[in-house]
Structure 1
Amino acid sequence: MPDTSDGGAPQLRPQSLMLAFFGNHVLEEGDLCVYSGSIIDVLGRVGVGEQAVRSTLTRMVSRGLLRRQREGRKMYFGLTEQATRVLRDGRTRIWREGAVNDDWDGDWTLLGFSLPESRQRERHDLRSRLAWSGFGALYSGLWIAPGKVDVAAVVAELGLTAHVKIFHASADEATDIGLMIRDTWDLESVAARYVSFDKRWTAHLNAGPGEDPIGTRLRLVSEWLWTIRTDPRLPSRHLPPDWPARPAQDTFRRVAGQTETPAHHLAHRLLETTPLR
């Protein structure tokens, strides 16, 4: 993803927008499938063309994230169990945990792994999942995250349990935690994402939901997920006093509050759905 510290919006992938769409309008509605034409309409509102939507749907089916369901001549798409887990994890990260960690108890989770060069793809997948779970590379094969992180299920899902060791520990008083954090995570890059997000979305606070609340909310949630995905939720006591996560989160939640009801009502009118069989 490009650097957006100049205030420009990130170039979000169609799959990220697709997951945000299903998270916004399907996850909480129970077992529903959405007509492909409705999906094309909504994603078109955020600049994704019809062909890109169709190819993304096909790829997500092949990856086990969506399931197809034909009703007459129409094709509908619903969530798989795997996608539901992903979206629930994202929902927890956005709405329950938040971007500010004021409750750190001094514990750390450490994860060590060793994989041969021939398993490069698996190493990449593991590192990506660890980064989303709040880990940073303390050393090349030793990753660390604040708090007690239950990462065993992630490791098991990747089939790497035999190659990974997980510990929970606290730092010795001789360890400079602030210095360790600065050495392990790129704080400037994380902060720049928050500043950029806050700058882009503050303008919406006085504008209300606008004429297209469903598109606005889709962009909002997608951009917020992009913003927080590299933030390990480090202890606030060890971050700069002007850390920008708090004001950015406040802006996100205020815009989300403005768009929630109008987007829900518009989706109810626009989306053609059918029960998942």
Structure 2
Amino acid sequence: MAALDLKPVSTRSALLTLLLGAEVPRLSTRELVAAASVVGFAEPTVRVALSRMTAAGDVVRDEEGAYRLSDRLVARQRRQEQAAHPSLRDWDGDWELVAVTTAGRTASDRADLRAALTDLRLAEVREGLWTRPANLDLDWPAAVDDVCERFVGAPVSEPADLARRLWNLDDWAATARALLDSTATDDPVLRFTACATSGRHLLTDPVLPADLLPANWPGDALRASHVAYKQWIVEMRRALTQTAQSSA
């Protein structure tokens, strides 16, 4: 399989990836500089990026000089964690069905609802009608329940055919396999870029029941690779920070 043409990760994206994948809610400047250095970002560049990210509201700097994600990005961190560890339940053939029943909403409200339903991994059958297999424990936000009615039922058509119509499974799988190939490298910058891209790609995994997926579906493999790399980043950052502290 041909390798992906991975776009270089900006300093901002790299620092956000490190914070989004951190095991603690805040990281010091020293920890961020240490981790970023391994994947090709020099200390002056990191410090400038942190200043700009603070001004833009991406991160918040506390009194001790450590950085944490803004509330907006904490929600993104939660979505990424759910993408890496989806909450599954046994599937009995039922599908979730969501029908938009409230008219007169603004364009912004409609866009927010579409984003919320997409984050829940639903697909749009037609305008105002969304569905997915009922194999996930979903946390339905008020933004959905306030303007929609929810039902559970089973499609008359072949479920696997319906899944293929609603999601481009072949393209998703091809990208996932290419990302897995890209992570099997000794190049730390390329591996980090593939990991950051994997996190975004996992957000679009429909997480369907096995019966509805093509053979050799790479979703679980990509999740395992992504989680393992995030753990490596954590351990590497700890080791570099301890080394810097002992030599200071």
TM-score for both structures, normalised by structure 1: 0.67
Partner-residue secondary structure (3-state), 1:166: strand
Structure 1 counterpart of 2:61: 68
Q: Is the 8 A contact 2:100 2:128 kept in 1?
A: yes
| Alignment size in residue pairs | 240
Structure 2 counterpart of 1:91: 81
Structure 1 counterpart of 2:150: 166
Structure 2 counterpart of 1:55: 52
Partner-residue secondary structure (3-state), 1:110: strand
| Deviation readout 1:87-132 (Å, 9 max, x if unpaired) | 24422331x339xx79433232222226768722332233233223
Contiguous gaps of at least 5 residues in structure 2: none
In the TM superposition, what is the alpha-carbon distance from 1:193 to its structure 2 partner?
1.9
Of 207, 217, 221 in structure 2, the residue corresponding to residue 243 of structure 1 is: 217
Structure 1 counterpart of 2:164: 182
Are residue 226 (structure 1) and residue 196 (structure 2) matched? Answer: no
Separation in 1, partners of 2:216, 2:238: 35
Q: Is the 8 A contact 2:54 2:60 kept in 1?
A: no
Structure 2 counterpart of 1:106: 93
Structure 1 counterpart of 2:239: 265
Residue identity opposite 2:173 in structure 1: A
Partner-residue secondary structure (3-state), 1:243: coil
In the TM superposition, what is the alpha-carbon distance from 1:143 to its structure 2 partner?
1.4
Q: Is the 8 A contact 2:133 2:208 kept in 1?
A: yes
Are residue 78 (structure 1) and residue 78 (structure 2) matched? Answer: no
Structure 2 counterpart of 1:275: none
Separation in 2, partners of 1:142, 1:97: 23
TM-score for both structures, normalised by structure 2: 0.74
Residue identity (%): 19
Q: Is the 8 A contact 2:6 2:193 kept in 1?
A: no
In the TM superposition, what is the alpha-carbon distance from 1:258 to its structure 2 partner?
5.3
In the TM superposition, what is the alpha-carbon distance from 1:238 to its structure 2 partner?
1.3
Are residue 34 (structure 1) and residue 59 (structure 2) matched? Answer: no
| Deviation readout 1:215-264 (Å, 9 max, x if unpaired) | 78854542221121111101121111132334434544555565553343
Partner-residue secondary structure (3-state), 1:29: coil
In the TM superposition, what is the alpha-carbon distance from 1:44 to its structure 2 partner?
6.2
Q: Measured at CA, do residues 146 and 58 of structure 1 come closer, stay the same or move farther in structure 2, by a change above 3 Å?
A: farther
| Deviation readout 1:161-180 (Å, 9 max, x if unpaired) | 4322223x1314x3211111
Q: Is the 8 A contact 1:68 1:77 kept in 2?
A: yes
Partner-residue secondary structure (3-state), 2:138: coil
Separation in 2, partners of 1:18, 1:150: 29
Q: Is the 8 A contact 2:176 2:201 kept in 1?
A: yes
Q: Measured at CA, do residues 195 and 218 of structure 1 come closer, stay the same or move farther in structure 2, by a change above 3 Å?
A: closer
Partner-residue secondary structure (3-state), 2:28: strand
Separation in 2, partners of 1:146, 1:17: 34
In the TM superposition, what is the alpha-carbon distance from 1:84 to its structure 2 partner?
3.9
Contiguous gaps of at least 5 residues in structure 1: 205-209, 272-277
